[in-house]
């Protein structure tokens, strides 16, 4: 295995954006943002890792003010588009079970760490908007990923002059944890036919993707979507990676394919498979009932956004609910806009 001394990471659970706190040491039991520090070469990890090769390192984290512990970790770059396009690559982190025992990371053998893509002035707002999408999905279905914000001080050593970036980021739990929590099994590389997915749960997923204006997914080919199975016959999609959505509205986002609307990333295109109309209308009612909670989810981060961005997020969500409330718009965009194959 390739071994490169890539980073030395320090984590403190006592700083960052705070919206509640838990005494549990579990990584995902608190909504406080972790404080992460790392020093290393982004060029090195981009060049020397792939889907099967990890870089070895040591992660240090603050257990209490002034007291530190360390843990052996491995990391690699993930995500083909972000790997090619972004300055900061998203990472997958692996931790051996024996090394995580009695630490904040106990039980988490595999994690994703989502970073901003570019060194843009609004990079933290973009990453926070993507994080909020995960919070939306947690309101919609029990089959979701848990996440944890992290304030990341990254010192880049690729050039002669070191430079430190202060980044907002977040951890995502492994899909095996979702499966364990929900009594399911993870399905890998099965290319499941859309008709095999649970109709109600998949329609919730499809409405969610339509709400945030995301077309960059496929349940069949597991593109930005994992699959889990609940006995006796439920295949369920697990959605992730929402930075290409209209809600996030990232300046680097790719336009929709020519076959999907006008190509504008903010244009909503319903990509759900056509389902029984009663199920679709039941999910319609569920989302309408969730409208206040969805808006409240945005509002709890009011202090982190400028007025224009906050207004834009609410307006974009409101356009979705206008469609749900109008029978003709709902019929045109969803009942008749669904995929027949």
Residue 253 — φ and ψ, nearest 5°?
A: -65, 145
**pLDDT tens-digit readout, 275-319:** 999 999 999 999 999 999 999 999 999 999 999 999 999 999 999
Per-residue pLDDT of the chain (341 residues; tens, 9 = 90+): 333 334 444 333 333 343 333 333 488 988 888 887 777 788 777 777 676 788 877 777 766 667 777 778 888 888 777 778 888 988 999 999 999 988 888 999 999 999 999 988 899 999 999 999 999 999 999 999 999 999 888 888 876 788 889 999 999 999 999 999 999 999 987 789 898 999 999 999 999 999 999 999 999 888 999 999 999 989 999 999 999 999 999 998 887 666 677 778 899 999 999 999 999 999 999 999 999 999 999 999 999 999 999 999 999 999 999 999 999 999 999 999 999 87
| CB 91 within 8 Å of CB 82 | no
Measure the CA–CA gap between 123 and 296, rounded to whole angstroms: 22
pLDDT of residue 142: 96
Helices marked H in the chain: 42-48, 80-85, 97-100, 123-140, 175-182, 199-211, 277-299, 307-325, 327-330
Nearest to 62 by CA among 32, 83, 82: 32
| CB 30 within 8 Å of CB 148 | yes
Measure the CA–CA gap between 173 and 158, rounded to whole angstroms: 29
pLDDT of residue 239: 97
Cα(first)–Cα(last) distance of the chain, in Å? 43
Report field, pTM of the whole predicted structure over 0.85: yes
pLDDT of residue 258: 62
| Total Cβ atoms within 10 A of residue 196 | 15
pLDDT of residue 65: 67
**pLDDT tens-digit readout, 90-109:** 899 999 999 998 888 899 99
Measure the CA–CA gap between 110 and 99, rounded to whole angstroms: 13
pLDDT of residue 158: 73
């Amino acid at each position: 295995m390739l071994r490169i001394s890539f980073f030395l990471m320090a984590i403190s659970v006592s700083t960052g954006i705070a919206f509640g706190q838990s005494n549990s040491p579990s990584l995902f039991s608190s909504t406080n943002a972790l404080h992460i520090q790392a020093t290393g070469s982004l060029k090195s990890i981009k060049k020397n890792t792939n889907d099967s090769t990890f870089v070895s390192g040591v992660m240090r984290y603050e257990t209490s003010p002034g007291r530190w512990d360390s843990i052996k970790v491995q990391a690699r770059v993930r995500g083909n588009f972000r790997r090619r396009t972004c300055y900061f690559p998203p990472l997958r982190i692996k931790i051996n079970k024996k090394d995580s025992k009695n630490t904040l990371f106990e039980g988490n053998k595999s994690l994703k760490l989502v970073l901003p893509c570019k060194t843009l002035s609004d990079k933290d707002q973009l990453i926070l908007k993507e994080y909020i999408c995960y919070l939306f999905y947690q309101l919609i279905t029990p089959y979701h990923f848990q996440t944890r914000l992290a304030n990341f001080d990254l010192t880049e050593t690729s050039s002669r002059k070191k430079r430190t970036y202060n980044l907002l980021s977040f951890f995502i739990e492994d899909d095996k944890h979702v499966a364990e929590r929900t009594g399911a099994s993870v399905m890998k590389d099965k290319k499941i036919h859309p008709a095999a997915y649970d109709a109600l749960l998949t329609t919730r997923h499809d409405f969610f993707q339509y709400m945030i204006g995301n077309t960059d997914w496929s349940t069949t080919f597991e593109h930005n979507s994992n699959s889990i199975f609940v006995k006796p016959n439920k295949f369920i999609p697990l959605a992730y990676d929402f930075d290409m959505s209209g809600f996030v509205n990232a300046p680097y986002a790719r336009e929709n394919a020519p076959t999907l609307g006008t190509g504008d990333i903010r244009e909503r295109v319903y990509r759900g498979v056509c389902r029984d109309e009663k199920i679709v209308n039941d999910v319609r009612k569920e989302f309408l009932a969730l409208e206040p909670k969805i808006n409240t989810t945005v509002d709890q981060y009011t202090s982190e956004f400028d007025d224009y961005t906050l207004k834009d997020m609410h307006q974009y969500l409101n356009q979705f609910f206008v469609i749900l409330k109008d029978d003709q718009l709902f019929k045109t965009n969803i009942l008749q806009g669904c995929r027949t194959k």
